[in-house]
Structure 1
């Protein structure tokens, strides 16, 4: 019988109310995604292959697993700035840098998590002068991106205006878009990151876009542009399948 991979999900944000009611937290959102990816890979479900623990580090900055107790980490997205000089984010960067030094630990970073991994590797992260990407957008894949995702072009939910400004040294870029040149990074058997949100459903995205419109983050013009892309087809489960293969290879 296969020994399950011990995956710790580091929850870097708290979901909006409706998403929270359905999933309990972003750890639950990612477990649902990974479950779909596991089934796509021929398993009965994610619990057959992964032993998942949830760690709400945004709410409890001391809720980190010991690195010798896990085989893999997944860093979620967040509304917070990956470049912020705040105690809990600085602690997260230091923790990830330590985990990266443990070559046996596999790391997945998504959106904010993608940027935190880049920052821990010495890459500049910050505001994108080209502004927001939101809802379903296309990503032009590199040859390595096409190999890993088994697609010629990726369609994925986005919700960011922060970026990693370049690919970490020694890593392979996975893709780019017109407003974000680093849409993912890869180091074989060690790290895979993606700027987009494979875990988002149309309902999750709708709640975020409508909330950001109501609070003035998105003006009427931006809202109209983003909302029309919410229901477009996207490749979240395909990305989840790639994550499963990465965790098990």
Structure 2
């Protein structure tokens, strides 16, 4: 069976991990797959995937690190991604992962001129987003959790903005065929104690749709 490769770029907040598990566990849970169907590459610990054999899709997590810090593991991951995007494997970047994809593909990342965006926010799909095979599954206006102080300040060539709000102009972007980035966190827990997963949450819907598109 083909597997989901999670590129883990850091560890979640300790309180969230204690209640709900780390980001890789939550991504798998929201996407509706077991950890047996997932390969986790902890790139923040300098573990770069040596092979993508048997991998059908890739998700890049958020991170407490900043893209502009240019840490050695982040640079190595960017080089790896640059070679992988040519292979037509569906890729989804989340927060840091979204920004790293943008920079890898020719865009720019820096601190947001308005500071930090955090908490539950309202986001709107663009016309392109409504037609997109991934983001188009969401309603035109939806809520999501965010936590970021950096942003994509310049999009790569041919990138398409799929969602935005008054604070963040690039909340979801298509970077090309089968490659997406979202600034918001679809894996963030809806329930405070994570005792249940709402299958109708927008984050869960998005992650399951991503895997569906990946086949």
Does 1:168 pair with 2:152? no
The equivalent position to 2:37 in structure 1, one of 44, 47, 51, is: 51
Find the counterpart in structure 2 of residue 237 from structure 1.
204
Distance 2:4 2:174 in 1: 18
Which of structure 1's runs of 4+ aligned residues deviate more than 3 A?
Answer: 21-24, 202-205
Find the counterpart in structure 2 of residue 74 from structure 1.
59
**CA RMSD in angstroms, aligned pairs only:** 2.4
Describe the superposition over 1:87-128 as per-residue Cα deviations: whole angstroms up to 9, x where unpaired. Answer: 1111111111111122x2211100000000001101000100
Distance 1:51 1:184 in 2: 26
Contact 1:166/1:182, CA 8 A, preserved across alignment: no
Which structure: greater helix fraction? 1
Find the counterpart in structure 2 of residue 151 from structure 1.
139
Describe the superposition over 1:36-72 as per-residue Cα deviations: whole angstroms up to 9, x where unpaired. Answer: xxxxxxxxxx25xx931111121x2124241344232
Distance 1:204 1:90 in 2: 35
Which runs of 5 or more residues in structure 1 are unaligned? 36-45, 206-232
- With the length of structure 2 as denominator, give the TM-score of the two structures: 0.84
Larger Rg: 1
Distance 2:192 2:60 in 1: 18
2:123 is paired with a residue of what secondary structure? strand
Does 1:178 pair with 2:166? yes
Distance 2:2 2:142 in 1: 27
The equivalent position to 1:34 in structure 2, one of 31, 35, 43, is: 31
Does 1:127 pair with 2:115? no
Does 1:114 pair with 2:114? no
Which runs of 5 or more residues in structure 2 are unaligned? 194-199
Contact 1:134/1:159, CA 8 A, preserved across alignment: yes
Does 1:199 pair with 2:187? yes
Find the counterpart in structure 2 of residue 246 from structure 1.
213
Contact 1:55/1:65, CA 8 A, preserved across alignment: no
Distance 2:124 2:153 in 1: 17
Find the counterpart in structure 1 of residue 120 from structure 2.
136
Distance 2:28 2:148 in 1: 22
Distance 1:204 1:95 in 2: 36
Distance 2:138 2:10 in 1: 30
2:25 is paired with a residue of what secondary structure? helix
Which structure: greater strand fraction? 2
